[in-house]
Structure 1
């Protein structure tokens, strides 16, 4: 057993300077993603709807931003680790392999058994060593912790202020482009995406109402806020794998509890309908977790009548057979 390479310490939400520095790092690798109003989607939701297209990053998900920023700051903080390991359901692992590879650092990712085949293939194609272990994300994470200790490499975090800063760059783009945005819906997995939105809101003093979205099959954050303490909840979602968090993080929970106006819970059926709606009205592919924000906006259609609404399509990495099955459904005529 060897000493694990420790992640540099950082705390709290990134400020405006942090987000600008993170934006610089991202721009060195890829351009801003679009935010766009789609009239057909607006007709369905009875509002002006801005879609933030994080499915348009080079990796098809917002996680690319966080990994680029994390390794940029790691490179500036001291000697780089000889290797990194982390757990993922897919998008974080792709981003880890991508950003680590740019710095010539070997990356290992641990995924649960039965994980997305196409995401697994993408991680391998990006150079990651892929290990299948456990029945859910938490068991994969526990194994990643052991591997970091055994190999003496860095456990790359899924949640960290540098990770939030990277995620916050998408939110900074959206809120800067749409100063009159009234409400924005953000899916919650482990929490970096919604915390990035909270950071950008604070940095710009933007009045937008931030609404967090959780899966009805992964209610750990909602249950923890209701209980006033950390609560682990079994994960049952089969479609929103990017939101499949069983055990919340205390630091993420505190930021979400204090920052979001409320949480909306969406079912897999609602997510499926939102995937079809997004394709029909924008011809964009959204994975389950990415469609959750739109599902929440559909659920709150009456509340948002004639308002300016934002939905974050966090990624488009969904297996072909899964997506085809959702497009082929006709639940409620959708």
Structure 2
């Protein structure tokens, strides 16, 4: 194992190894395999890592469980989320008998909100600026802790356990990763660059949410509006810490419009028998439509909390 990027990031290989041992087993050792029908459809060997078969139906449980598992008793985690991260916080807090509050923007998927509430967290929907509302809420009590997806390195280190599992078996030429706040790709790339430095790490943003892409090219955070069906990638204000981790770790960042996401959802249902939300199908959509290099490629199917109205697109 080499560690040539250690000086350029605050993500720790040792903490990633710890996370791989201590996060809730329900999120670990997820399926990873090569499906012949999918390979035939995409014209090359494709490895999929399936992060949907767990109690919150997404990869977010890894990072949230690792972080919240390290909090002292009596803390009250608070977050802003469009759904999946909020479910992760709620699940990890309930597991440790902690209260949790999730601020969501108006218009968040009702099914995701129902699942957050079912996990025991308080949900507060905000019309204008849920981040400001969450910060004000935290300021009123010393027990409350604002947990920012993409901020605390432990969230990325928990997500990196996906790479620990993937690279224990495979060495793809290219790994394609959806990019929202950047926690997933930075954690994965941190591990990948140490154990498989020749594997290219390519991130995919939603074209309707270009803030992270603009920030990547400018090498400094840039805001942009988000209008995309890929709710998990709808970032308008990149977190500086996450962008700074991305810069030395990933090889390229591309964008994809919404229409191929719907096609990729149908492809996953037809070949893999899996229901994916639009954000979860980003890697497959990129392999279908973008010039991704590599004979053997891998991608992560990140979530299956799709809206009811997306189901008719699967016909």
- TM-score normalised according to structure 1 size: 0.87
In structure 2, the residue matched to 1:103 is: 96
Residue 101 of structure 2 aligns to a residue in which SS? strand
Cα offset, 1:204, TM superposition:
1.7
1:167 pairs with one of 136, 143, 159: 159
In structure 1, the residue matched to 2:3 is: none
- The answer to whether the 8 A contact 2:209-2:225 is kept is yes
Cα offset, 1:297, TM superposition:
1.1
In structure 1, the residue matched to 2:262 is: 272
In structure 2, the residue matched to 1:130 is: 123
Residue 42 of structure 1 aligns to a residue in which SS? helix
Runs of 4+, deviation exceeding 4 Å: 27-30
- The answer to whether the 8 A contact 1:25-1:69 is kept is yes
In structure 1, the residue matched to 2:208 is: 217
- CA, structure 1 residues 155+211, in 2 after alignment: closer, same or farther (shift >3 Å)? same
Cα offset, 1:13, TM superposition:
4.0
Separation (CA, whole Å) in 1 of partners of 2:83 and 2:34: 28
Cα offset, 1:28, TM superposition:
4.4
In structure 2, the residue matched to 1:226 is: 217
- The answer to whether the 8 A contact 1:13-1:195 is kept is no
Separation (CA, whole Å) in 2 of partners of 1:216 and 1:260: 18
- CA, structure 1 residues 327+30, in 2 after alignment: closer, same or farther (shift >3 Å)? closer
Moved more, 211-220 or 30-39: 30-39
Q: Alpha-carbon deviations, 1:171-213, whole Å to 9, x = none?
A: 111122103x110110111111101111111332442100000
In structure 2, the residue matched to 1:36 is: 33
In structure 2, the residue matched to 1:311 is: 299
1:325 pairs with one of 304, 312, 315: 312
Matched, 1:70 2:61: no
- The answer to whether the 8 A contact 1:175-1:206 is kept is no
Matched, 1:17 2:10: no
Q: Alpha-carbon deviations, 1:132-172, whole Å to 9, x = none?
A: 0035xxx2222111111123311122121110111000111
In structure 2, the residue matched to 1:289 is: 279
Superposition pairs for residues 230-245 of structure 1, below 5 Å? Answer: 230-237=221-228, 239-245=229-235
- The answer to whether the 8 A contact 1:13-1:164 is kept is no
Matched, 1:140 2:133: no
Residue 127 of structure 2 aligns to a residue in which SS? coil
- For structure 1, list consecutive stretches of 5 or more residues without a partner in the other structure: 1-10, 329-334
CA root-mean-square deviation: 1.7
Cα offset, 1:260, TM superposition:
1.4
Separation (CA, whole Å) in 2 of partners of 1:37 and 1:247: 36
In structure 1, the residue matched to 2:140 is: 150
Separation (CA, whole Å) in 2 of partners of 1:300 and 1:268: 13
1:197 pairs with one of 178, 182, 188: 188
In structure 2, the residue matched to 1:255 is: 245
- The answer to whether the 8 A contact 2:79-2:86 is kept is yes
In structure 2, the residue matched to 1:185 is: 176
- The answer to whether the 8 A contact 2:159-2:187 is kept is yes
Cα offset, 1:304, TM superposition:
4.0
Q: Alpha-carbon deviations, 1:76-126, whole Å to 9, x = none?
A: xxx334312110000110010110111111000011111101100000000
- For structure 2, list consecutive stretches of 5 or more residues without a partner in the other structure: 1-7
Residue 177 of structure 1 aligns to a residue in which SS? coil
Separation (CA, whole Å) in 2 of partners of 1:269 and 1:121: 27
Cα offset, 1:29, TM superposition:
4.6
- The answer to whether the 8 A contact 2:186-2:250 is kept is no
- TM-score normalised according to structure 2 size: 0.92
Moved more, 257-266 or 114-123: 257-266
